[in-house]
Structure 1
Amino acid sequence: MRHQVCIIGGGPSGLLLSLLLRRAGVDAVVLERRSRDYVLSRIRAGVLEQGLCDMLREAGIGSRMQAEGFVHDGTIITAHGTTVHIDFKKLTGKTVTIYGQTEVTRDLYEELDRIGAPVFHEAEDVAIHDADSDAPHVTFTHQGRSHRVDCDFIAGCDGFHGVSRNTIPKAVRREFENVYPFGWLGILAHTPPVADELVYSGHERGFALCSMRNANLSRHYLQVPLTGKAGDWSDDAFWAELRRRLPPHLAETLVTGPSIEKSIAPLRSFISEPMSWGRIYLAGDAAHIVPPTGAKGLNLAASDIHYLSKALIAHYAGDEGLLAAYSATALARVWKASRFSWSLTRMLHHFPAEGSFLARMQAAEVDYLAHSTAAQTALAENYVGLPY
């Protein structure tokens, strides 16, 4: 088969890229290793930057997000006896929208189905060939049959463990990584959120985050050691620990209930340079991972797709400049967003191996944030998303 762009990875970034390209008349095919049901079962981020919301509207799939999403004007940060409300709208004129990644993916699937865009699920043995030539191709197995996609370009949207990044020679790649000595234990529960906005809580026992998916579905997290398993935590133990890590006035409002999903995710910061080689262009987790503290994972993937879709569309209109600059352009934003996620993680998590000095520095940082409009503005600008 022949397509102009072969997209490896059918998560939200790959699906969004396919839709944006097809809206501009560029032919694309998506290869996804997992089944559609599996992709839609993954519980992921739910905080969308305004830039991503604008992209979804541009792609023609923003109506359900507009109707069902929760617009947040700010967030609450509490640590070391200090509570700060960061007013995004007042400080930046922008907001964020709470709308689950699963729902974004569902909207993308429905629109791609409607326009008849090809998506191969359970595509196995995906391999990239001749990526450094003018005639790359991708082979894969689907339902027991071998297939070959001849294409002009390959978009690697297949995540950290995918084939795309590893196709770039090791001699070309530079990888930067920081692995954090803890993970996040997260639960999903049919309970109302603890507050009208997200709550980030730093505590001597560890970090906690109170998030939400809708008015009756909450997502909460606890910083935990990586030595344990999610099954080691009963629901009662989780709720009790969450209460300990929240200020009393918020702990009193916490409504508990049985969990419907529970898991532990390790945290890392990771960036691979460059984000292109030959005819391969990486996007999202294939090129970078951020700790979830700054809500940047899905949003960073979306900014990659913004740059990559514009560059590919420009190429077919006769302009090569954006495609040549893609890696450098995307990486400039990736490093800034990674810095923000890293700094927020450092400010609010417990690092017992680093002793009391770091704890006092964290307290000073939160106190400065509480009394500095400039510091609050800087945090708000990064949280709502730096401009594309």
Structure 2
Amino acid sequence: MRTQVAIIGGGPSGLLLGQLLHRKGIDTVVLERKTKDYVLGRIRAGILEVGMVDLMREAGVGDRMDRECFVHDGTLISYGDDLFGINFKDHTDTSVVVYGQTEVTRDLYDAREASGAPILYNTEDVAIHDADGDAPHVTYRVAGQDHRIDCDFIAGCDGFHGVSRQTIPLSVRREYEKVYPFGWLGILSETPPVNDELIYASSDRGFALCSMRNANLSRYYIQCSLSDSPDDWTDAAFWDELRRRIPASEAEALITGPSIEKSIAPLRSFVTEPMRWGRLFLCGDAAHIVPPTGAKGLNTAASDVHYLYHGLLHRYADGDDDGLERYSERALARIWKAERFSWWFTNLMHRYPDQSEFDLKMQQAEIAFLRDNRDAQAVMAQNYVGLPY
């Protein structure tokens, strides 16, 4: 098989890149190691920056998002019972939208299937060859049969555990990582959200987040120990702990119900450099991970797709390689700023095991400064809605 761009990974970043390129007449093949149902069954964040929203529209898959999404003009932050808002619209003249990653992926699958562009499921033993040469190719197995794809370029959109990053030699690759000493216990429940806006709550008992998927589907999180298991937490225990961490006014309004999904996610910050090796380009979790505070995971993947899409477009349209040559530089410049925001917001809102009384006072003072200072709120708003590409 021959294609122009081989895309490894059939999640939202790989599918978005493929859809954008397809609309410009650039051939792609997407390889996914799982099934479509498995990918759609993954529960992920649902806050989209303005840049991601614009890319969905440019890819021709924004109609359902525009009809069904919830526009959020701001967010709420609390410390104990002190609750205040930060108005994104006021500070940036833009908003974010709530539209689940599963729905993003579903829309992209529908578009790819309608286009007839190939997507290969259940691919095993994927290997990247000659990425640093002029004739890259990908080999893989499906149902015990060996296959090969020759291509011009390879987009590694296969996540943290995928083959793409590991293909870059250790002599070239440098990795930066911070592992946080806590996780997030999250539940999904068929209940109305406690508030029209998200609530990021800091308390003496730890962090909590009140989020949503739609008018009757809510997503809630509490900071927990890495040694915890979801089985350690009954639904009743979760709801009781959540109430203790959010302002009393919100706790009284909280409507609870059985969880339909419960899981614990560890938190880490991770970046690999460079994001390009020869004709191999890393996108999304293959190159970087952020803690979920601030909802940057899918959105940082979208910025990578933006830079790679335009680099490939210029290469095929007019032979200009500048966008591809500078892909890693441009992508990383924005990624490190998103990493900084996620790290800052995580440190601001969470309790650490080794925090001193002084540390806690500094944390309280910084939250109070954010509450009272318009310039500080403007900086947070600019980062939350998404820095420009």
Band the TM-score falls in, shorter-chain normalisation: over 0.9
Does the 8 Å contact 1:70/1:214 carry over to 2?
Answer: yes
Q: Which amino acid aligns with 2:359?
A: L
The count of corresponding residues between Structure 1 and Structure 2 is 388
Residues 323-354 of structure 1 deviation map (CA, whole Å, 9 limit, x = unaligned): 10000000000000000000000000001212
Q: Counterpart in 2 of 1:354?
A: 355
Q: Counterpart in 2 of 1:384?
A: 385
How far off is 1:143 after superposition? 2.3
1: CA distance between counterparts of 2:289 and 2:18? 22
Superposition map of 1:31-46 within 5 A:
31-46=31-46
2: CA distance between counterparts of 1:330 and 1:379? 21
2: CA distance between counterparts of 1:173 and 1:279? 15
Superposition map of 1:255-266 within 5 A:
255-266=255-266
Q: Counterpart in 1 of 2:321?
A: 320
SS in 2 for 1:381: helix
2: CA distance between counterparts of 1:82 and 1:174? 42
Does the 8 Å contact 2:371/2:377 carry over to 1?
Answer: yes
1: CA distance between counterparts of 2:189 and 2:314? 45
In structure 1, the gaps of 5 or more residues are: none
2: CA distance between counterparts of 1:10 and 1:221? 27
Percent identical across equivalent pairs? 64
SS in 2 for 1:86: strand
Does the 8 Å contact 2:158/2:164 carry over to 1?
Answer: yes
Residues 13-35 of structure 1 deviation map (CA, whole Å, 9 limit, x = unaligned): 00000000111111100000111
2: CA distance between counterparts of 1:121 and 1:206? 41
Q: Which amino acid aligns with 2:357?
A: S
SS in 1 for 2:253: coil
How far off is 1:84 after superposition? 2.0
Q: Is 2:184 aligned against 1:184?
A: yes
How far off is 1:358 after superposition? 1.6
Does the 8 Å contact 2:198/2:211 carry over to 1?
Answer: yes
Does the 8 Å contact 1:198/1:212 carry over to 2?
Answer: yes
1: CA distance between counterparts of 2:362 and 2:102? 38
Q: Which amino acid aligns with 1:272?
A: T
2: CA distance between counterparts of 1:313 and 1:146? 31
2: CA distance between counterparts of 1:269 and 1:352? 18
Does the 8 Å contact 1:84/1:369 carry over to 2?
Answer: no
SS in 1 for 2:354: helix
Residues 49-99 of structure 1 deviation map (CA, whole Å, 9 limit, x = unaligned): 011111101111101001110000000011155322000001110100000
Superposition map of 1:111-150 within 5 A:
111-150=111-150
Q: Counterpart in 2 of 1:95?
A: 95
Q: Which amino acid aligns with 1:135?
A: A
2: CA distance between counterparts of 1:240 and 1:122? 42
Q: Counterpart in 2 of 1:22?
A: 22
2: CA distance between counterparts of 1:387 and 1:358? 33
In structure 2, the gaps of 5 or more residues are: none
Q: Counterpart in 2 of 1:370?
A: 371
2: CA distance between counterparts of 1:151 and 1:352? 50
Judge which range, 287-296 or 77-86, deviates more: 77-86
2: CA distance between counterparts of 1:19 and 1:280? 19
Q: Which amino acid aligns with 1:190?
A: E
How far off is 1:359 after superposition? 1.0
Q: Counterpart in 1 of 2:68?
A: 68
TM-score, scaled to structure 1? 0.99
2: CA distance between counterparts of 1:80 and 1:245? 7
Q: Which amino acid aligns with 1:361?
A: M
Does the 8 Å contact 2:61/2:107 carry over to 1?
Answer: yes
Q: Counterpart in 2 of 1:156?
A: 156
1: CA distance between counterparts of 2:62 and 2:136? 34
CA RMSD, Structure 1 to Structure 2 (Å): 0.7
Q: Counterpart in 2 of 1:341?
A: 342
Q: Which amino acid aligns with 1:368?
A: F
1: CA distance between counterparts of 2:114 and 2:158? 24
Does the 8 Å contact 1:82/1:366 carry over to 2?
Answer: no
Q: Which amino acid aligns with 2:20?
A: L
2: CA distance between counterparts of 1:129 and 1:357? 53
Q: Which amino acid aligns with 2:367?
A: V
2: CA distance between counterparts of 1:99 and 1:361? 35
Q: Counterpart in 1 of 2:199?
A: 199
How far off is 1:174 after superposition? 1.0
Does the 8 Å contact 1:3/1:150 carry over to 2?
Answer: yes
Does the 8 Å contact 1:290/1:341 carry over to 2?
Answer: yes
2: CA distance between counterparts of 1:192 and 1:99? 15
SS in 1 for 2:342: helix
